[in-house]
């Protein structure tokens, strides 16, 4: 978990992300237009990976998304790649179980992940002298299908309870993952599953590490409620293009924008 702490400033600079390719190191993410108290390192699980060159819906140009591996520690790349391969197997198993729970064949979702754009993130939250004035990650919902989250024993993740809007601590359990349903499963399942709102609070004494695996389908996919689940019922979402949706979101995550963050609720069909 401590890998991110092993990067020297020099390595961090060499593997820093830029506005075009979102993979690598950065420490200026904004969630909901507020800067998070954290540094991250992201890599894409399957290469080659492609994504839209811009968030303009008419721009069909694609760019290759490449990983930026630091030279030191030298074994980092191999360890990360092995972790990603194994976690992806678990993600497929979980998707299979979700599919069965919706009354669908176990492999119903597999095709969507053939050119997956899943990624892994190392989160490092340094101790914060004013923990009540900042957040490690501001409140948000994960935009992918599923998130498989590993965390250390420090704690800080909170989920919003729907019934009363209270933030509830997720106690770290040794050797256990936290599984978050993301927006895509919410849309596919026509709201049978709901993605969970969460945030990370800080700690004035201890740093914290977490590693989410974001299980994401192909960028060209149009996400919409599955036909089998909307028989006799109105689909609750209009189809949205995943790559363009993420490109728009990424733009607003990188810096403070004057616009409201894009959410799947923008594609909700009014009742
Ligand atoms: O660090 C955590 O526990 C959660 C991080 C998170 O929500 C995210 O990276 O999307
Ligand atoms: Fe999250």
**pLDDT 10s digits, 179-188:** 999 999 999 9
Complex ipTM more than 0.85, yes or no:
yes
Pocket of ligand 1 (CB under 6 A): 121, 123, 137, 142, 149, 151, 157, 198, 200, 210, 212
Q: Please name the residue ranges forming H helices in 65-207.
A: 76-101, 183-188
If you average pLDDT over residues 16-31, what whole number do you get?
88
| CATH code, residues 31-249 | 2.60.120.330
Q: What distance in angstroms lies between residue 186's CA and the mean position of ligand 2's atoms?
A: 15
- Strand segments (E) across the chain: 24-26, 30-31, 34-35, 39-44, 49-52, 62-65, 119-125, 137-140, 146-151, 157-160, 167-169, 178-181, 198-200, 208-215, 222-223, 240-241
Output the residue whose Cα is nearest ligand 1's atom 3.
Answer: 157
pLDDT greater than 80 at residue 257: no
Ligand 1 atom at minimum distance from 214 CA: 10
The model's confidence at residue 42, banded by pLDDT at 50, 70 and 90, is very high
Q: What distance in angstroms lies between residue 198's CA and the mean position of ligand 2's atoms?
A: 6
- The pLDDT score that the predictor gives to residue 199 is 97
Closest-lying ligand to the alpha carbon of 195?
Answer: 2
Ligand 1 atom at minimum distance from 125 CA: 1
Least confident window among 14-23, 94-103, 124-133, 157-166: 14-23
Q: What distance in angstroms lies between residue 183's CA and the mean position of ligand 2's atoms?
A: 11
Ligand 1 atom at minimum distance from 121 CA: 9
Report the phi/psi class of residue 24: left, alpha or beta, with left for phi > 0 and alpha for psi in -120 to 50: left
C-alpha gyration radius of the chain: 18
* Coil, helix or strand at residue 213: strand
- The pLDDT score that the predictor gives to residue 113 is 96
The model's confidence at residue 22, banded by pLDDT at 50, 70 and 90, is confident
If you average pLDDT over residues 204-216, what whole number do you get?
96
Look at 171 and 248; give whichever has higher pLDDT: 171
Q: How far apart (Å, rounded) are the C-alpha atoms in residues 107 and 86?
A: 18
The model's confidence at residue 61, banded by pLDDT at 50, 70 and 90, is very high
Closest-lying ligand to the alpha carbon of 149?
Answer: 1
Q: What distance in angstroms lies between residue 212's CA and the mean position of ligand 1's atoms?
A: 6
Q: What distance in angstroms lies between residue 253's CA and the mean position of ligand 1's atoms?
A: 14
Output the residue whose Cα is nearest ligand 1's atom 1.
Answer: 210
pTM of the model: 0.92
269 secondary structure, DSSP code: P
């Amino acid at each position: 978990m401590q890998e991110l702490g092993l990067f020297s400033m020099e390595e961090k600079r060499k593997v820093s992300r830029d506005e075009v390719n979102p993979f690598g190191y950065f420490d200026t993410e904004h969630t909901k237009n507020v800067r998070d108290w954290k540094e991250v390192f992201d890599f894409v699980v399957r290469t080659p990976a492609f994504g839209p060159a811009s968030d303009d819906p008419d721009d069909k140009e694609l760019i290759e998304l490449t990983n930026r591996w630091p030279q030191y520690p030298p074994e980092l790349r191999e360890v990360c790649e092995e972790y990603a391969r194994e976690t992806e197997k678990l993600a497929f198993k979980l998707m299979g179980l979700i599919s069965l729970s919706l009354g669908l064949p176990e492999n119903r979702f597999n095709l969507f992940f053939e050119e997956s754009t899943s990624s892994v993130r190392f989160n490092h939250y340094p101790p914060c002298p004013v923990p009540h004035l900042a957040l490690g990650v501001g409140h948000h919902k994960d935009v992918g299908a599923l998130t498989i989250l590993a965390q250390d024993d420090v704690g800080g993740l909170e989920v919003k309870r729907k019934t009363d809007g209270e933030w509830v601590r997720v106690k770290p359990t040794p050797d256990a993952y936290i599984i978050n349903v993301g927006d895509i499963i919410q849309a596919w399942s026509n709201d049978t599953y709901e993605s969970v709102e969460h945030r990370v609070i800080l700690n004035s004494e201890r740093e914290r590490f977490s590693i989410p695996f974001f299980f994401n389908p192909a960028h060209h996919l149009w996400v919409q409620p599955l036909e089998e689940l909307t028989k006799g019922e109105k689909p609750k979402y209009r189809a949205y293009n995943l790559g363009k949706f993420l490109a728009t979101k990424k733009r607003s995550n990188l810096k403070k924008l004057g616009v409201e963050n894009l959410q799947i609720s923008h594609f909700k069909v009014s009742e």
